[in-house]
Amino acid sequence: MAKSDYYGTLGVRRDASAEEIKKAYRRLARELHPDVNPDPATQERFKEVTQAYEVLSDPSKRQMYDLGADPYAAAGAGAGAGFGAGFPFSDIMDAFFGSAGGARAPRSRARRGRNATIRVELDLREACFGTTRELMVDTAVLCEVCQGAGASAGTHPDTCDMCQGRGEVSQVTRSFLGQVMTSRPCPQCGGYGTIIRHPCQECSGDGRVRTRRTIKVRIPAGVEDGTHIQLAGEGEVGPGGGPPGDLFLEIVEKPHEIFERRGDDLHCTVQIPMTAASLGTVLTVETLDGKEDIDVRPGTQSGQVIPLYGKGVQRLNETGRGDLLIHFNVETPSRLDPEQEDLMRELARLRGEERPPGKFAPGQQSFFSRLRDAFNGR
């Protein structure tokens, strides 16, 4: 019988590595498997590919083949021998399901730690310009005695004798469909495949211990109430010495006694006497940068706003600042002494306002106008 070209059948070079041969077989098995393509010619091709892989995946058979012999023919197994004892069934399952027979790997004891959130209170100045804080964090850290392994010094986890390290056990049951095999996590080792018979006394086998530690964090300028800052890897260490989670800072901005924040702008209200509003004046006002003088023009009305550009809050992750908007409230005196009352009457006489007619603002109506419109059905 002529020797088959197994390398050509798999489409690999003669010096191909074992991994390259395995990848080539997986690719062809997906295309030619009878469940995917039931054509008789394709099934015959599938048997040839399987035969080639059985020889080239075994180092001793491959060496014999490279020396000129055909191990498959010598063993009396023709191309149509079927699924014999040496048939690579696990590799076919691996080609379709990614692992032999779909078996799951044992669970790892090392798992990622949980995230943690702490609240940080800031006053307006700290939120505007940023600050550095030292925070006390109650968290889990790596056990320094066992370094996360969970076993006492000089010991190590033992392979589970129930699942033989697989992390799962199988059970065969009968049903109307025939025998059905089911798998579940090993009840003895919990699916880990190993058992810690001598746990670390410091961490009780968890691989981590709880402690308090201090971290210094830089809070950027421009944060506001409700802002969350993520500190990657500053959360608690996971079980089994797993990687740490993240720490989130939740900003809580305390109210300010003067300023009200609206986004990046600040607002405040300044009360000025009627005389200052009428004649104009210079006021000294508070800002986050210190005191500053502003000109109040003559005739300033209640509700009028003077902006101080660039005196607001630093924009988060951007350049520039918001504005400070000063709202004026003109204060009318409620009590006058006789001299002040005489002066006010004289002023009213000079301005012709002894009996002012009264003026309605646009869009407003007098009581009698509204009553008239009601009767007219408007």
Q: Is 128 part of any known ligand binding site?
A: no
Q: How many CB atoms lie within 10 A of CB 127?
A: 26
d(CA 343, CA 332): 15
d(CA 205, CA 161): 20
CB of 238 closer than 8 Å to CB of 244: yes
CB of 190 closer than 8 Å to CB of 151: no
d(CA 176, CA 275): 101
- Tell me the CA distances in angstroms from 164 to 90, 104, 196, one per residue in order: 19, 14, 14
Q: Is 268 part of any known ligand binding site?
A: no
Q: Where are the extended beta strands (E) located within the chain?
A: 116-122, 131-142, 158-159, 168-175, 178-185, 194-195, 208-219, 228-231, 247-253, 260-262, 265-273, 281-287, 290-296, 305-308, 324-331
d(CA 49, CA 27): 11
d(CA 308, CA 270): 14
CB of 25 closer than 8 Å to CB of 49: yes
d(CA 292, CA 283): 8
Q: Which residue matches tokens 């000025």?
A: 272
Q: Where are the extended beta strands (E) located within 208-357?
A: 208-219, 228-231, 247-253, 260-262, 265-273, 281-287, 290-296, 305-308, 324-331
**How many residues appear in the chain?**
378
Q: Is 200 part of any known ligand binding site?
A: yes
Binding site feature residues for Zn(2+): 143, 146, 160, 163, 186, 189, 200, 203
Binding site feature residues: 143, 146, 160, 163, 186, 189, 200, 203
